[in-house]
Amino acid sequence: MQQNENLNTYQYGIVKRIEPSFAIIALPTIDAEGFLHITSATNKETKNMNAILKINQEVVVKIFRVSPTGYKLSLKDVSENITSNILKKVHQNQQIVRLFEIAGKNAKIYNPQIFLQKLQNKYREITPLFEDAAETGSAIFEEAGIPSSLAKELTKIAQTKFKQRKIVVSKKVIIESKKSNGLIIIKTALQNIEKKGYNIIYLAGGKYLIKTLTSDPKSAEKDINNSLHEMRKKVDVCEILLDKESNAVKKC
């Protein structure tokens, strides 16, 4: 029986049948199939569905109608961002299932999917648990009710596949203030940056080194730049050293 609760939802799908004017899409998440007409597949003047889809292709569709004959689907009303996010989540879930199978075999646990189901009932996402275990050990799994032997095998996998490589992000800056309370202004601004988890080292002559160890260098660099941009509004000089030899700089 078709459920109206699925109306206007986005669903992961697999192309199972293609005809010139339509395709049948399997919807494994809700254990159903849907009908995709070519007019709902693309805005282009394409007359053959084979030019758009392939058998077993993964897609993300929107259920725009529920009728006695089944689900009516749209492909063209799904943005690239939605498609990317849903496919990423599906692939992560598929990977987690495989990892539980491997860990269960190594731990001699007959049906490890039972414990995966418990985690899925308790947590919205499972991937962060693996990322946590990669850094801190098996406690995160054991606290969630996973048997110790299985938790240890899952942690071994996590440390191999989910441990994030961290790199140093740093910037040398020149900061000066001619105001009577300039040192206090600079000190307060730098303390605000330190509170975000950055290390600050005074070099000499108004030069400072701001650095951090991070697994997300792009975000860290953006955060430092934003902090320095705010600092520039409060001091007379805020310049980032670009080249050690030439002393080239740019304003914060």
Mean pLDDT of 103-124: 91
Residue 97 confidence class, pLDDT cut points 50, 70, 90: very high
DSSP-derived secondary structure for the chain: ---GGGTT-EEEEEEEEE-SSEEEEEEGGGTEEEEEEGGGT-SS----GGGT--TT-EEEEEEEEEETTEEEEESTTS-HHHHHHHHHHHHHHHHHHHHHHHHHHHHT-S-THHHHHHHHHH-S-SHHHHHHHHHH-THHHHHTT--HHHHHHHHHHHHHHTPPP-EEEEEEEEEE--STTHHHHHHHHHHHHHTTT-EEEEEETTEEEEEEEES-HHHHHHHHHHHHHHHHTTSSEEEEE--TTT--EEE-
Q: Is it the case that residue 171 has pLDDT exceeding 70?
A: yes
Q: What digits encode the pLDDT tens for the residues 187-241? A: 888 888 888 889 999 888 888 999 988 878 888 888 888 888 888 888 888 888 7
Q: Is it the case that residue 70 has pLDDT exceeding 80?
A: yes
**Distance separating alpha carbons of residues 85 and 191, to the nearest angstrom:** 37
Q: Is it the case that residue 252 has pLDDT exceeding 80?
A: no
Q: Is it the case that residue 175 has pLDDT exceeding 60?
A: yes
- Whether the domain at 4-78 and the domain at 167-251 fall into the same CATH topology: no
Mean pLDDT of 157-181: 85
Q: What does the mean pLDDT of the chain come to? A: 89
Q: What digits encode the pLDDT tens for the residues 30-39? A: 999 999 999 9
Does the CA dihedral 55-61-64-68 come out positive or negative?
A: positive
Q: What digits encode the pLDDT tens for the residues 52-61? A: 999 999 999 9
Instruction: Give the model's pLDDT for residue 245.
Output: 56
Instruction: Give the model's pLDDT for residue 1.
Output: 46
User: Who wins on pLDDT, 93 or 18?
Assistant: 18
Instruction: Give the model's pLDDT for residue 247.
Output: 65
Mean pLDDT of 140-148: 92
What percent of the chain lies above the pLDDT cut of 70? 95
Q: Is it the case that residue 125 has pLDDT exceeding 70?
A: yes
Instruction: Indicate the CATH number for domain 4-78.
Output: 2.40.50.140
Instruction: Give the model's pLDDT for residue 157.
Output: 93
User: Who wins on pLDDT, 111 or 44?
Assistant: 111
**Distance separating alpha carbons of residues 178 and 135, to the nearest angstrom:** 45
Domain boundaries, the chain: 4-78, 82-161, 167-251
**Distance separating alpha carbons of residues 142 and 148, to the nearest angstrom:** 6
Instruction: Give the model's pLDDT for residue 61.
Output: 97
Q: Which fold has domain 167-251?
A: Alpha-Beta Plaits (3.30.70)
Q: Is it the case that residue 84 has pLDDT exceeding 90?
A: yes
Mean pLDDT of 120-144: 89
**Nearest C-alpha neighbor of 129 from the set 95, 86, 80, 104:** 95
Q: Is it the case that residue 2 has pLDDT exceeding 70?
A: no
CB 36 within 8 A of CB 74: yes
Query: Looking at domain 82-161, which of 1.10.150, 1.25.40, 3.90.550, 3.30.1370 is its CATH number?
Result: 1.10.150
CA atoms within 13 A on the CB side of 31: 1
